[in-house]
A and B are shown apart, each in its own frame.
Chain A
Amino acid sequence: MSDNGVPRESPVAVAADSGGTSAPVAQFQSVQRIYRMGDQEVRALDGVDLTFRAGEYWSIVGPSGSGKSTLLNVLGCLDRPSEGTYFLGGEDTGELNDDALSELRSRRLGFIFQSYNLIPQLNVLDNIMVPLLYQSHPPADGEERARELASRVGLGDRLDHRPRELSGGQMQRVAIARSLVNDPDLVLADEATGNLDSQTSMEILDLFDELHSEGKTIVFVTHEASVSERAQRVLVMGDGRVCEVRETARLAQELAT
């Protein structure tokens, strides 16, 4: 991993915490994620300390292979740390079994993927409602919420369309609606605009901004520097470590108002 431009001997990993006052939503304590293949070891995450607080708006950047997706997967309880501890909403996820993690995903987390990942045999409305399907106590107004979210992302008139009848941008809007249907504590997006043209990307990012202004906690991974500046804070990954945490102009602007 030395070809990624980040010096291996970069300063001791940065402990990323905005030092803000709101409650921590997600917290990493020296998290490592190590892939072992035979006698080879890949440290996808190599000692990460992080705190994401409620209402914060983060972007993660870094060269390919630096561990951005791995970080997001651990944040989303899809993957577990090999070492270290991950607290989600004050709960040590290391203590939880597979079922409890699944329940956490369905209640507290929202995912948006680069390749949309809608279920092909379900229509728009049913796709949006999938996370509710797996909650042990699904809300009574689930369908109503799903309809509202669909109109909010501009697809109120496409409820019974199948994913293959939608454009990429529309599919990603469905995915966003789906990520919000369970009113998550944390919305995670991995290169959500990676497959979209710049115009559509802007529309999606405008949606993110809107969510942020409503107080949602958002963490998104991106390749593009310009896109990362949309967030309040930028986390720069390199070689499985946090290289830098930078506040953006947006934060300064928000603090000023």
Chain B
Amino acid sequence: MRGSGIIASVRLGISSLMLHKLRSGLTTLGVLFGTSSVIAMLAIGEGASAEAQEQIKRLGSQNVILRSVKPAEDQNQGSQTTRILSYGLTNDDYERVATSFPSVGRVVPSRLVAQEARFEDRMVPQPRIVATTPEWLEVSGRLVENGRFLTKSDSVGAKNVCVLGTELARDLFLFKDPIGQRVKLGADYFDVVGTITPRVRFDSDAPGAGEETTQELFIPLSTADNWFGDMNVSRRAGSFNAEEVELHELLIGVDNKDNVIGIANAAREMLERFHDEKDYEVVVPLELLAQAEETKRIFNIVLGSIAGISLLVGGIGIMNVMLATVTERTREIGIRRALGAKRQDIVAQFLVETVVLSVGGGLFGVALGLAIPQIVQWYTDMPTLVTLQAPILAFTISAGIGVLFGIYPAWRASHMDPVDALRHE
């Protein structure tokens, strides 16, 4: 049973187990399901959290985002047919924020414009028109696909130019090259100077990057001020609603991750001081990321415990069967001892059998565990992600279970008295 004998002893172990095929097969089921559930659950969990983290990362983990939010208490106010609601971030806020952190961050203001977009006979009724400054591209981490983004001279000259997101470009122009064409926003024409991809510079090869969700279009903020003002008007069923929002978003690009939380807190304080009601929100992707990671950690602990328990049950099943096997094969143990087997040889023999059982269960478990996420993804569109660690971890644990739960039966076998064992019927 030494050295080169390992293969021989594994073969012997298998042939001993094959004497009771059904029993051996049933015994491996515990470990099989334990292992496969670990892998499957990890894959589904990883998939979900990877998607969440990707969404957060796309906001830019070094950014702090200040957003205008319609204050809650005003929403059901009165029954007037005409009202003008004024809320949100102001140009004063922008000035204050921009002058407060000049050394650590760039501040990019943007406003949403509610207009429809047309090209020839095609129309997109509610595009997401973002009026912003040239720095937006750099701070948001987005990438130019064709042409260029807005420039300083566009801003200074308040030019009628626009940059399209890939999706809007496709919806309006189909397969035609949009650059050089003119898009009509509301009553005005804008020259298309470029398109940008939905992909971000920050880890652009992560899964999910490249899926666009909005029909975006970008124009210079100064142009928007000239043409559209702050007023977004909506008319519905005879009522007239207008919202006045100076800025929808202030995007702060922080130069260093360590300063993100500090700047976020300073911005919160500042906004609190100058706003009577909470008509803004502060979004800190880094904090969200930390929360997502914490959630994932808790999830992993819960998952690990469930998986651990199921593997434990599998291990106990194996031990139970091995104890029965040892009793059944008392005679064989006596024979081997009489022919010169040392205690350690007997231990090795039964340990090999237990490990073959658990590793066999582990292997099938890994196969099943890799198949389940595929099936889940196929039927539910839930994203799953099988990391390399998951099958390795699951497999190692199942093999370890075999050793751990095999030790006692093997020890029992090796400490039988040879003469008694030989007399056993």
Question: Of the 9-residue stretches A9-17, A126-134, A223-231, A244-252, which lies at the interface with chain B?
Answer: A126-134
Q: Of A102, A136, A182, which is in contact with the most chain B CB atoms at under 10 Å from its CB?
A: A102
What B residues does A99 contact at CB under 8 A?
342-344
CB distance A106 to B15 under 8 Å? no
A91 within 8 A of B: no
CB distance A133 to B5 under 8 Å? yes
CB distance A102 to B337 under 8 Å? yes
- Residues facing B in A63-109 (CB within 8 A) are 73, 76, 78-79, 98-99, 102-103, 105-107
Which of A102, A121, A130 has a CB less than 8 Å from the CB of B19?
A: A121
Query: Chain B binding site: helix, strand, loop or mixed by DSSP?
Result: helix
CB distance B12 to A121 under 8 Å? yes
CB distance A78 to B338 under 8 Å? yes
What A residues does B5 contact at CB under 8 A?
133
CB distance B19 to A105 under 8 Å? no
Q: Mark A161-196, 1 if CB is under 8 A from B, else 0.
A: 000000000000000001000100000000000000
CB distance B339 to A178 under 8 Å? yes
CB distance B342 to A113 under 8 Å? no
CB distance A79 to B419 under 8 Å? yes
CB distance A103 to B422 under 8 Å? no
CB distance B338 to A135 under 8 Å? no
Separation of A79 and B337 alpha carbons in the complex (Å): 11
CB distance A130 to B342 under 8 Å? no
CB distance A121 to B15 under 8 Å? yes
B: interface residue count bin: 20 to 34
CB distance A103 to B342 under 8 Å? yes
CB distance A117 to B335 under 8 Å? yes
CB distance A76 to B340 under 8 Å? no
- Residues facing A in B376-425 (CB within 8 A) are 418-419, 422
A111 within 8 A of B: yes
A119 within 8 A of B: yes
Q: Of A103, A107, A119, A131, which is in contact with the most chain B CB atoms at under 10 Å from its CB?
A: A119
What B residues does A136 contact at CB under 8 A?
2
B16 within 8 A of A: yes
Which of A79, A134, A182 has a CB less than 8 Å from the CB of B341?
A: A134
Separation of A140 and B338 alpha carbons in the complex (Å): 22
CB distance B335 to A119 under 8 Å? yes
What A residues does B16 contact at CB under 8 A?
121
Which of B19, B345, B419 has a CB less than 8 Å from the CB of A78?
A: B419
Nearest to A190 among chain B residues (CB) is B422
Distance between B20 CB and nearest chain A CB, rounded to angstroms: 11
CB distance B340 to A119 under 8 Å? no
CB distance B1 to A105 under 8 Å? no
Distance between A110 CB and nearest chain B CB, rounded to angstroms: 9
Separation of A98 and B416 alpha carbons in the complex (Å): 12
- Interchain residue pairs A-B with the least CB separation, the first 8: A106-B340, A134-B340, A102-B342, A105-B340, A131-B339, A117-B335, A78-B418, A134-B341
7 additional A-B residue pairs with CB within 8 Å, beyond A106-B339, A130-B339, A134-B342: A79-B418, A102-B342, A105-B339, A117-B338, A119-B332, A130-B336, A134-B336
Task: Show 16 A/B contacts (Cβ-Cβ < 8 Å), sorted by A.
Answer: A79-B419, A102-B345, A103-B342, A106-B340, A106-B341, A111-B338, A111-B339, A117-B335, A119-B335, A119-B336, A120-B332, A121-B15, A130-B336, A134-B339, A136-B2, A178-B339
